[in-house]
Amino acid sequence: AEDEIAAFEREIKQFWTSFKSIYGSEQVNQTVALRDSCKESIKALTEKWSQKLKEEDLMIDKIKEYNDEILQQNKLISENEENLTEIKSNLNHEEEQIKSLMDSIQELKEELMKKNKIIASKNKATKERVEQLCKSKALFEERLGLEIRRIHDEQLQFIFRHIDHKDPEKPYTFTLFINEQGDYEVTSCSPPLDCIAEFQQKVRETNNFSAFIANIRKAFTELSYK
């Protein structure tokens, strides 16, 4: 715009030079006044448009700053969305792990409850059988000269006397307990009997405990004559 105005002023000067050579002073003065008025108008117009151009440049710079700021904000929003997506994914994964862990804990609880019921049932059966054996104590002592003692770990010790005619007070003993499967199990025998394993298996099959005791006493008796 400034280049156009400068060109315009040069044309005015050329016109003025040509005009002076043709017209008189008065007309020249009028023309000068008109020229000065025109120049003032052009100057005012130039200043006005120059100011507008500066304002537009400032506006363009401001718009550019806004655009840069918007781009930066969009970038931050995009990064935050990616972070949120990752956080949600991690939370979902952790929730699945927690659910799996809770399911495992529940399964273990149920399994433990079942095992506790089985153990309680076995303990009850074991206790009842031990009590039954203890109730039979008097009968065995009276008829077979047998003494029964409860020792550590819920084991019962059976002591036979009056077997060896040479030494009636000599003890013949074996120790018995009921294992986790609810079966009779002989843990010791003095003096040792080769047939003790056979007797143990038979009482497990028949559950005839009286016959089991009688067979052991008979085996001890036979052993005393050897």
Q: What's the pLDDT tens digit per position in 29-55?
A: 666 677 677 778 778 877 887 888 888
pLDDT at residue 21, as a whole number: 66
Using DSSP's 3-state secondary structure scheme, residue 150 falls into: strand
> Three-state DSSP class for 159?
strand
* Residue predicted with more confidence, 24 or 71: 71
CA–CA gap between residue 204 and residue 27 (Å, rounded)? 151
Average pLDDT over residues 206-219: 93
pLDDT exceeds cutoff 70 at 189 = yes
137 CB-near residues (< 8 Å, 6+ apart): 148
Mean pLDDT of the chain: 82
Superfamily of domain 145-225: Chromosome segregation protein Spc25 (3.30.457.50)
Q: Where are the domains of the chain?
A: 78-143, 145-225
Q: How far apart are CA 65 and CA 44, in angstroms?
A: 31
For residue range 1-19, list pLDDT tens digits in order: 567 777 777 777 777 777 6
What pLDDT does residue 135 have?
A: 63
What is the per-residue pLDDT for 125?
66
* Range with lowest mean pLDDT among 31-35, 72-76, 109-113: 31-35
Average pLDDT over residues 147-160: 89
